[in-house]
Structure 1
Amino acid sequence: MDADFIVIGAGSSGCVIANRLSADPRNKVVLLEAGGPDTNPWIHIPVGYFKTMHNPSVDWCYKTEPDPGLNGRSIDWPRGKVLGGSSSLNGLLYVRGQKEDYDRWRQMGNEGWGWKDVLPLFKRSEDQERGADEFHGTGGPLAVSNMRIQRPICDAWVAAAQEAGYPFNPDYNGAQQEGVGYFQLTTRNGRRCSSAVAFLKPARKRDNLRVVTRALVEKINLDGRRVTGVTYLDNAGQRQTITARREVILSAGAINSPQTLMLSGIGPAAHLSENGIEPLVDLPGVGQGLQDHLQARLVYKCNEPTLNDEVRSLFNQARIALKYALFRAGPMTMAASLATGFMKTRPEVATPDIQFHVQPWSADSPGEGVHPFSAFTMSVCQLRPESRGEIRLKGPDPQKYPKIIPNYLSTETDCRTIVDGVNIARRIARHNPLATKVAEEFRPHADLSMDDYQGTLDWARSNSVSIYHPTGTCKMGAGEDAVVDAQLRVHGIEGLRVADCSIMPEIVSGNTNAPAIMIGEKASDLITASG
């Protein structure tokens, strides 16, 4: 098999690239995906993340190494192993981040990545239910819609946050991010609009696009410093090779992209040698610079019913299912969160440094079912953590998961910010109308004083989890720690680019799916412009 372009990974970025490149009938494109097709019906039902996360048929089911910043805990890192990648499993929240994020990328030397450069790409992808304006587009492949469900507890949170002094913002993807309001979703008519649905499905009828599922890439092949193709293991465990006439685009995500580079002999030379891999190109930054958003999840018991109660009985579950089947409405259209807020922990912070995800339900994990009592959840995360982790190999076998070392809460700023975020959440809960609905501060308990900095930090270390936004492990830039340049070309190699959230020089101030899709759009333009 041969192709002009080989795209590794059919996730949020890879599906975009496969679509855009195959739009030119002169380009022969092969898209390789380690997972299977997106045929699981729960993928396409918005609330299906309760069924797909931690399900090994569609989730890599990664776990981190024990982390000192989390009091030695190892935590789950779900990542999509299916067409659509993590966009087939995620919470459906459409968040671009702040314009300042992208301007900082540009100031770091990445020409073409400033806000004025990337906003047209966001708009090009978008089919915004609210209509087109200065910040939004219509007619694109990616459906972006408003909430189809409301719950009084979330409305009470938005009102209480305003009572606490935080302004209402009807569009955090608009002129400014700061304020409280409701999430925008990647759904259409009550169905998930994953990257596979939005970008790949319309392109699959093209004769010049071939999609190969259950294809685990073993390595990217090099002739000197020129990429010649890809070797992968097919569903039967047989080794297959594809020749690339023009380029290989690696879009396997912040874990698998650096892993694939290192398995191919591209990465920190000493580390590769330790793992029995011949170093072909010494790139010290591969696998370094890992960033993620860590969320502290506060749970409050309520004196009125929440979604926990709605889904507890079989009768109610049947009623909810019928409503969805007939009207594409009700709780099954729900994203991971309904209400949100972007806030500053201190007056001197230039832009919001924490984000809230507010849910009318509570659970220890989405895949484990809800708590057996009425409750809601306030999740708060630091938007721009300083802590950096890394991805490391555990040997030369592509089927062996790498080490994920997040290094959470390893700087003073990160510790202070998560404590401040928890305290802001607790203060909001003590404002009306939310305070009248709270029966008990369940997690953390009211006994934990907001003046107890160390106690609150220790609670956060013992209870916080990932919000599933790994980035930065194939950093874009020109320094010694950079892996790709501003054209997304891997330094020192011809014919190889990386295009996914691993290229972020700094994590964006918000959820990462929308930026991943933008990166796919940008990569497509760069490849096309290169001839």
Structure 2
Amino acid sequence: MQTHDFIIVGAGSAGSVLAERLSASGKYSVLVLEAGGTDRRFYVQMPLGYGKTFFDPAVNWNFRAEPDPGLAGNSDHWPRGKILGGSSSINAMVWVRGAREDYDDWRDAGNPGWGHDDVLAAFRALEHNESGESEWRGRGGPLHVCDMREKVHPLTRLYLQAGLQAGLPLNEDFNGESQEGVGVYQLTTRNGRRMSAARAFLRPAMKRKHVHVVTNAHVSRILFEGHRAVGVEYVRNGQTVQTRCGREVILSAGAVCSPKLLELSGVGDPALLKGLGIELRHANANVGEHLQDHLGINYTWKARQKTLNQVLRPWWGKALVGMQYLLARSGPLSMSLNQGGGFFRTDPTRSRPNMQLYFQVFSTVLPRPGERPILSPDPWPGFSIGLSNCRPSSRGAIHIRSADPAEAPKIVPNAFSTNNDVAEMLDAVKFLRKLASMPAIAPVIAEEVLPGPSVQSDEDLVADFRKRSGTVYHPVSTCRMGPDAATSVVTPRLKVHGLEGLRVIDASVFPSNVSGNTNAAAIMTGWKGAEIVLEDQV
């Protein structure tokens, strides 16, 4: 039975950072267990290749949520990375930290050390911002953040002008002093390749002799002696292996799989575990609860001029951009689906933005079954403006269905289950049409395709966004952090309440969701979590 100082379950956004930071001094040995395989795949490394990984079971858990009344009964597809780098290896690469107030909310909920001023130091330390260093941004860190302002499609610039005409300010850096306004998204890419957490953190750590990474290792349960975690059990190539650690087990399996592993190990709601025949190790009914996620929808228009549809759809266009990428690591394949974006308030009386925008210079109204057709867009020129809510009030849950570790958990999002979430989304989709009517962009629009001009009344608009909205892949809070075990799963030091030698460090610990894409916050949590772990070693 092999012994390491630390066992990290999951080589994703937070786990990759933990592996690097905990092993950096050479003092501690680290074992990383990852259910997926290598990230050295062409469509993983090519930025726009994430359309090919959206349903690929070789790199994706391909979870599916329960039919949701809030989404007109639809059962939503939940992609999560099953690969070195986790979801940072298959995501859209948009780098948005979240708003200052998000982290101050964490602190004010009883989590000292997690306010904006506290986490800013971690954000600055971990990044290499291509645009330069400032009081908000860092240079010299392992994670490269690319400035795309000079590379975007001309239509993106019209979108920015339309945003200004609609009353939004131009924001040169969503990771700077303020989030509000329209601008161009920064991406986690470098030299035309995806900069995942694996590339930035895990690969350098793997060069160290005291770091051991095991892929295709499906962890089935945590091993305990009394109330102390001492190791884990995992299955690899049909063989069951038990391995121990001298210091701590750290779950970094994400908002779906970290609560799953706790419940499989007897940590959770006693009634649920008893009903599934799992022996109770420690009671905490918050495990798997408090699920939050951002919900998004696209409005799509036909354009009077060429968009990326005319480049990415025909065979000769694919050949052209393919050669451009292979020879120069440039062109559309080196970028994200989302070029422009922004943050706005659906009501000017709100104290801060509550909606995020995404501008896409192509359209995918005619999808192929079982495919996200990023590389095969519509046959006509089109573009989309999407949005997602920043701080939804709806809450869901993720729980195991059985004691079988191979069975996917039950995901119940409860989307649009509060009047507030419905009302702000209604205001938000109306703003999309306002944007599209601005003088900068209206002349290039031939017609609205989705939802179409026949959808006008509030009732019809609500029915449409219930039918067409879905996750934007930002689930958090299923092992949320807080000072009280009655309402949370881990302490502000990320230790599981009531147990020893066990922490959770990933997006599942967020006390509440952040305003924007969650990957940056997950990576920061890994960085700051490693600092906390090292401080607590005696």
Measured against the shorter chain, the TM-score band is: over 0.9
Which residue number corresponds to residue 468 of structure 1?
A: 473
Identity of aligned residues (%): 44
Q: Say whether residues 1:455 and 2:477 are aligned partners.
A: no
State the Cα distance separating 1:155 from its structure 2 match: 1.4
Contact 1:344 1:352 in 2 (8 A): yes
Runs (5+) with no aligned partner, structure 2: none
Q: 2:391 aligns with which of 384, 387, 408?
A: 384
Q: What's the CA shift string for 1:263-322, capped at 9, x where partnerless?
A: 000011111111221111001100001011000111111111111111111111111011
Q: What's the CA shift string for 1:442-476, capped at 9, x where partnerless?
A: 11111222xx2221111000001111000010010
**1: CA distance between counterparts of 2:243 and 2:401?**
26
Which residue number corresponds to residue 527 of structure 1?
A: 533
Which residue number corresponds to residue 195 of structure 1?
A: 197
**2: CA distance between counterparts of 1:192 and 1:298?**
27
Q: Say whether residues 1:151 and 2:153 are aligned partners.
A: yes
**1: CA distance between counterparts of 2:525 and 2:438?**
40
State the Cα distance separating 1:363 from its structure 2 match: 1.7
Q: What's the CA shift string for 1:113-141, capped at 9, x where partnerless?
A: 00010000001110000111100101101
Which residue number corresponds to residue 503 of structure 2?
A: 497
State the Cα distance separating 1:478 from its structure 2 match: 2.2
What is the count of residue pairs matched by the alignment? 528
**2: CA distance between counterparts of 1:70 and 1:418?**
13
State the Cα distance separating 1:518 from its structure 2 match: 0.3
Q: Secondary structure at the residue paired with 1:31?
A: strand
Q: Secondary structure at the residue paired with 1:118?
A: helix
**1: CA distance between counterparts of 2:341 and 2:173?**
11
State the Cα distance separating 1:26 from its structure 2 match: 2.0
**With structure 1 as the length reference, what TM-score do the two structures score?**
0.98
Which amino acid letter does the alignment assign opposite residue 492 of structure 2?
Answer: A
**2: CA distance between counterparts of 1:335 and 1:295?**
17
**2: CA distance between counterparts of 1:376 and 1:332?**
17
Contact 1:92 1:336 in 2 (8 A): no
Which amino acid letter does the alignment assign opposite residue 150 of structure 1?
Answer: V
Which residue number corresponds to residue 425 of structure 1?
A: 432
**2: CA distance between counterparts of 1:156 and 1:447?**
26
Contact 2:313 2:378 in 1 (8 A): no
Which residue number corresponds to residue 180 of structure 1?
A: 182
Q: Secondary structure at the residue paired with 1:320?
A: helix
Contact 1:353 1:382 in 2 (8 A): yes
Q: Say whether residues 1:357 and 2:358 are aligned partners.
A: yes
Contact 1:149 1:329 in 2 (8 A): no
**With structure 2 as the length reference, what TM-score do the two structures score?**
0.97
Contact 1:93 1:336 in 2 (8 A): no
**2: CA distance between counterparts of 1:48 and 1:386?**
33
**1: CA distance between counterparts of 2:102 and 2:127?**
20
Which residue number corresponds to residue 66 of structure 2?
A: 65
Which residue number corresponds to residue 223 of structure 1?
A: 225
Q: 2:514 aligns with which of 496, 508, 511?
A: 508
Alignment of structure 1 residues 300-339 onto 2, 5 Å: 300-339=301-340
**2: CA distance between counterparts of 1:165 and 1:523?**
39
Which amino acid letter does the alignment assign opposite residue 395 of structure 1?
Answer: S
Q: Secondary structure at the residue paired with 2:428?
A: helix
Q: Secondary structure at the residue paired with 2:322?
A: helix
Q: What's the CA shift string for 1:178-224, capped at 9, x where partnerless?
A: 00000001011111100000001111110000000000000011111
Which residue number corresponds to residue 46 of structure 2?
A: 45
**1: CA distance between counterparts of 2:163 and 2:527?**
36
Q: Say whether residues 1:486 and 2:486 are aligned partners.
A: no
Which residue number corresponds to residue 168 of structure 1?
A: 170
State the Cα distance separating 1:160 from its structure 2 match: 0.7
**1: CA distance between counterparts of 2:379 and 2:481?**
46
Which residue number corresponds to residue 238 of structure 2?
A: 237
Q: What's the CA shift string for 1:377-434, capped at 9, x where partnerless?
A: 1111110000000002110111100011000000011001111111101110011221
Which residue number corresponds to residue 268 of structure 2?
A: 267
Q: Secondary structure at the residue paired with 2:330?
A: coil
Contact 1:215 1:233 in 2 (8 A): yes
Which residue number corresponds to residue 143 of structure 2?
A: 142
State the Cα distance separating 1:336 from its structure 2 match: 2.5
Which residue number corresponds to residue 128 of structure 1?
A: 129
**2: CA distance between counterparts of 1:348 and 1:224?**
53
State the Cα distance separating 1:152 from its structure 2 match: 2.0
Q: What's the CA shift string for 1:329-369, capped at 9, x where partnerless?
A: 11111112000110000022111000001111112567234
Q: Secondary structure at the residue paired with 1:352?
A: coil
**2: CA distance between counterparts of 1:291 and 1:373?**
36
Which residue number corresponds to residue 213 of structure 1?
A: 215
Alignment of structure 1 residues 426-441 onto 2, 5 Å: 426-441=433-448
Contact 1:149 1:331 in 2 (8 A): no
Which residue number corresponds to residue 279 of structure 2?
A: 278
Q: Secondary structure at the residue paired with 1:150?
A: coil
Which residue number corresponds to residue 76 of structure 2?
A: 75
**2: CA distance between counterparts of 1:203 and 1:484?**
27
**2: CA distance between counterparts of 1:336 and 1:80?**
18
Q: 1:204 aligns with which of 202, 206, 213?
A: 206
Q: What's the CA shift string for 1:141-171, capped at 9, x where partnerless?
A: 1000111631122211111111111111101
Runs (5+) with no aligned partner, structure 1: none
State the Cα distance separating 1:523 from its structure 2 match: 0.8
Q: Secondary structure at the residue paired with 1:367?
A: coil
Q: Secondary structure at the residue paired with 1:57?
A: coil
Which residue number corresponds to residue 27 of structure 2?
A: 26
Contact 2:7 2:248 in 1 (8 A): yes
Which amino acid letter does the alignment assign opposite residue 460 of structure 1?
Answer: F
State the Cα distance separating 1:25 from its structure 2 match: 1.4
**2: CA distance between counterparts of 1:73 and 1:230?**
36
Contact 1:253 1:501 in 2 (8 A): yes
